[in-house]
Amino acid sequence: MVKSPKSNKKGGKAVKVNNTVAVNENLDLIYTLISSDGEQFQADGHSLKLSKVLSLAAKCLQSTETTIHVEKVKGDTLKRVLEWCENHKDDGPYVSKCGPGLRLPHWDFRWLKSLDNQQLFDLITATNDLQMKQLMDYSCKTVANMAKGKSPEQLRQIFGILTDEEEAELALNEPGPSNAN
């Protein structure tokens, strides 16, 4: 099995939900979300519903609190996440259609296309951390479309990946204990 730096999913499964709380409560309540770099945003329960992590965090708040700290996500990424949520908050339930067959809706297609690569990758990481299946599917599909029909060399250029030789070269020249003077 390939070893990887595993991403830490925020909250999610470790938090227990109180089963006696009514299901439809607080969907119209406005919450304040604070990003990792201190930016503040407003969003209602309908928007938060699109993220498993955020909706669970909202449910677990004390009755008078409306602030959620989103520690893993930076301000500008969070802003985009919420922009997407705002657009999709009235959608019906989403059925994930894995794999290359997925088709993006018009708005999402254009919106994702307008982001640059770094913004897109940050968005994907955020959707993974916030457990937002739909946006994650759409953004991954966008990246896959960019990769379509490209040769490995072109893929490296588009995604800023070094060849193994270049990486080895870089590692050799990086200052560290072995080559310190």
Partner 1 sequence: MSSDETEKTPAELLSLPNEVLCYLFTFIPPHDAITKIPLVCKRFSLIIKDAKFWSTRIRNEQSVRMPQCELRHPDYSPQKSFYMIHQQNQRWKDWESQRIITAPGHMATVDSVMLFSKNEKLFCLSGSRDRSIRLWDIQNVGSGENSEENKWTVAQNDTAHSGWIWNVSRNEDSEKFYTTSWDSTVKEWSIPDGGALQELNSVNLGSAVQCVSTSGSSNEVVCTTFARRTAVIDTRSFKIVADHQLHKKAVIGLAVQGDKIFTSSEDRMMMMVDRRMMSKAVLFEYCPKSYKTSLSLQRHQLLTSTSDGKVKLYDANNFNVVQSYTVTGILGY
Kindly list the residues in this chain that would bind partner 1 in the complex (CB under 8 A). Answer: 1-2, 4-7, 98-100, 102, 116-118, 120-121, 124-125, 128, 136-137, 140-141, 143-144, 147-152, 155-164, 167
- Kindly tell me which of 40 and 118 has the beta carbon lying closer to partner 1: 118
- Kindly tell me which of 98 and 180 has the beta carbon lying closer to partner 1: 98
Least distance (Å) from partner 1 to the CB of residue 124?
Answer: 6
Residue 44 backbone dihedrals phi, psi, to 5 degrees: -95, 170
CB 153 within 8 A of CB 69: no
- Kindly tell me which of 10 and 26 has the beta carbon lying closer to partner 1: 10
- Kindly tell me which of 40 and 97 has the beta carbon lying closer to partner 1: 97
Alpha helices in the chain (DSSP H): 45-48, 52-59, 75-88, 106-113, 117-129, 133-147, 152-159, 164-173
Amino acid identity of 7?
A: S
Least distance (Å) from partner 1 to the CB of residue 5?
Answer: 6
Distance of CA 20 to the CA centre of its chain: 30
- Kindly tell me which of 6 and 106 has the beta carbon lying closer to partner 1: 6
CB 11 within 8 A of CB 58: no
Least distance (Å) from partner 1 to the CB of residue 32?
Answer: 28
Candidates 129, 131, 167, 127; CA nearest to 143 is: 127
Pull the structure tokens for residue 166: 């270049």
